[in-house]
Chain A
Amino acid sequence: MKQRLSLPFVMTLAVLFFFYIPMLVLVANSFNASKFGGSWKGFSLIWYETLFQDRHVWHAVKVTLIVALSATAISSVLGTISALALHRYQGRLQRMHQTLIYAPLVVPDILVGISLLLLFAALGIQLSITTIILAHTTFCMSYVCMVVLARLQDFDHSVLEAAQDLGANQWVTTTRILLPLIAPGVLSGALLAFTLSIDDYVITFFVAGPGSTTLPIHIYSMIKRGNMPIINALSTLMISMTFSAVWLSQKLAKRRILS
């Protein structure tokens, strides 16, 4: 059949333009010598230079990474365990468990943020980097659980029973059979958790204490101050990282299908 100029085709094309034009303008402006980016004043790397010399940015990157790595580690463990429970058992407890896991996914960030702030205020807990990690783990855990659960769908529990019948103990069946089999799922869950953590602004803003400025919080204050060219440079770096990450995860997904 010949490809006609149909409405769905035109719509898809328009959507892609809509998605990418703002990002392309951002990338182009990061190399623009002009401060406001309305017109082209020549190619320049000055904004990248300014960015690399900005000590606040690098401190924020450090805080972001500490938070993201901690939250990813904790939420990957908790999310994987909860996915195993949901997959293995049925009944009232697991139905409640499942509702608990899914509920944070349908609550807007601002409500998660304010409710955690209220909890910390009510308990008299000082806001710090620890409260950010607790908050991030809470929302990342549900995503990890969902991803691992999806991968467990084609996991056959009789493999574990066979190993046990052959004399393997609980430890051996878990570490030598179960974990290697679900590892790709846990890995993509962890990748998702990491990405969500380094990108979160709203929840972090509510539970961040003094001195625990993450990168999104720093970017936000730069946006509010109108410090545009440096954010352009930073955005370009982050967009290229996103592209690489998506490309990498697609590669990983392909390898999983092939093996």
Chain B
Amino acid sequence: MGIPIGEHTPVKPNPKRAEWLLTGPSFIWLIVLFVLPTLLVFAIAFKPFNPDGQLGPGWTLDSIRGLANPNYPAIVWRTLSLSAITTLICLIVGTPTAYFMARATRWRQTLLMLVIVPFWTSFLIRIFAWKVLLHPEGAIKNFLVFVGLADASTVLLYRPEAVLLVLVYTSLPFAILPLYAASEKFDFSLLEAARDLGATPWKAFLHIFVPGISRGLWTAMLMVLIPALGAYVIPDVVGGKEAEMIGNKIAQRTFNDRNLPHASGLSAILSLVILLPLVLGQTWQWWNKRKAGKS
């Protein structure tokens, strides 16, 4: 079989052609439906606004000027701080959990399944569950009133703390799973060696185990931080006006005012905010590698 294509490839089909046949479909699909749209986010911010939801002709700086909205710095700051705190909590809670799961021998499979189920459970339903719990007539409020920590007028929903709680709830499995994957490969005899050399359990955990799973920590950080920066559903359902994030503003500009160029400008800001930690992370890794290579 095989058609002679040139003098130098008498029997086998052209390997470059075979490679393109396998690469082409996904490559072209992603160029058209991922790369092109991502570039459009930056381009459409310069198009004029047309109230029918379509784009006007020509180019303008109106939307860029619109981004100088005095409410936006506070919203960007809230997005950054809520995402950062969520990531921190998830890493602090996730690391000892992953440690325990990796060391548990008999219960490991069960524990893993118990962490995977919430990971698979519908995202909306997990958020809704908290709306029910935090509801003015819900279980947590009743409990807090019962033990005297709250009175009838306390509002648990529609505040940044509620958004933070639910962000942690939905993100935690995304932190635990990569941390567990890294812990599973960790050589626990190193901890015993550290103990034999006189380190306290806490010191051994902090100085041997935590650096040992650093790759897992990086993955967990990205898996939590990036979706949190783009959060929209959580602040929309359990947060109120006082807990809005960039995602809410993008959705409002898109669906309430049909102002696509403005939404596009906001999305461009969000993209840049997300690129920042990625670039920092890459630089940090590159710098560490260089340092390791030198010593």
Chain A residues close to B by CB (< 8 Å):
6-9, 11-12, 15-16, 18-20, 22-23, 25-26, 29, 36-39, 77-79, 81-82, 84-85, 88-89, 93-94, 96-97, 100-101, 103-104, 106-112, 114-119, 121-122, 134-135, 137-138, 141, 145, 169-170, 195, 199, 201-202, 205-206, 216, 219-220, 223-224, 228, 231-232, 235, 238-239, 242-243, 245-247, 250
Contacts and interface: CB of A to CB of B under 8 A. Distances in A.
B137 A36 contact: yes
B61 interface: no
Interface of B: 1, 19, 22-23, 25-27, 29-31, 33-38, 40-41, 44, 53-55, 93, 96-97, 99-101, 103, 109, 111, 113-118, 120-133, 135, 137-139, 142, 169, 172-173, 176, 222, 226-227, 229-233, 237, 247, 250-251, 254, 260, 263-264, 267, 270-271, 274, 278
B53 to A, nearest CB: 7
A119 B37 contact: yes
Contacts of B41: 111, 114-115, 118
Given A100-B35, A119-B40, A228-B132, A11 B93 contact: yes
A245 B120 CA distance: 9
B235 to A, nearest CB: 11
A111 B120 contact: no
A115 B38 contact: yes
A19 to B, nearest CB: 5
A122 B128 contact: no
Given A81-B22, A118-B44, A170-B1, A111 B99 contact: no
Given A100-B35, A104-B30, A118-B264, A93 B19 contact: yes
B18 to A, nearest CB: 9
A108 B274 contact: yes
Contact of B169 (A18, A85, A250): A18
Contacts of A77: 25
Contacts of B176: 15
B254 A115 contact: no
B284 to A, nearest CB: 16
A140 to B, nearest CB: 11
Nearest to B15: A89
B274 A107 contact: yes
B37 A235 contact: no
B253 to A, nearest CB: 9
B278 A29 contact: no
A205 B27 CA distance: 26
Contacts of A11: 93, 96-97, 100
A97 B29 CA distance: 11
22 contacts: A6-B100, A18-B169, A19-B173, A25-B132, A78-B26, A82-B23, A85-B22, A89-B22, A100-B26, A104-B34, A106-B222, A106-B226, A111-B274, A115-B34, A122-B40, A195-B120, A219-B122, A223-B124, A235-B128, A238-B121, A238-B122, A246-B120
Nearest to A142: B30
Interface centre among A20, A82, A115, A245 (most CB of B within 10 A): A115
B274 A216 contact: no
B113 A38 contact: no
A93 B131 CA distance: 48
A103 B44 contact: no
A108 B229 contact: yes
Contacts of B109: 250
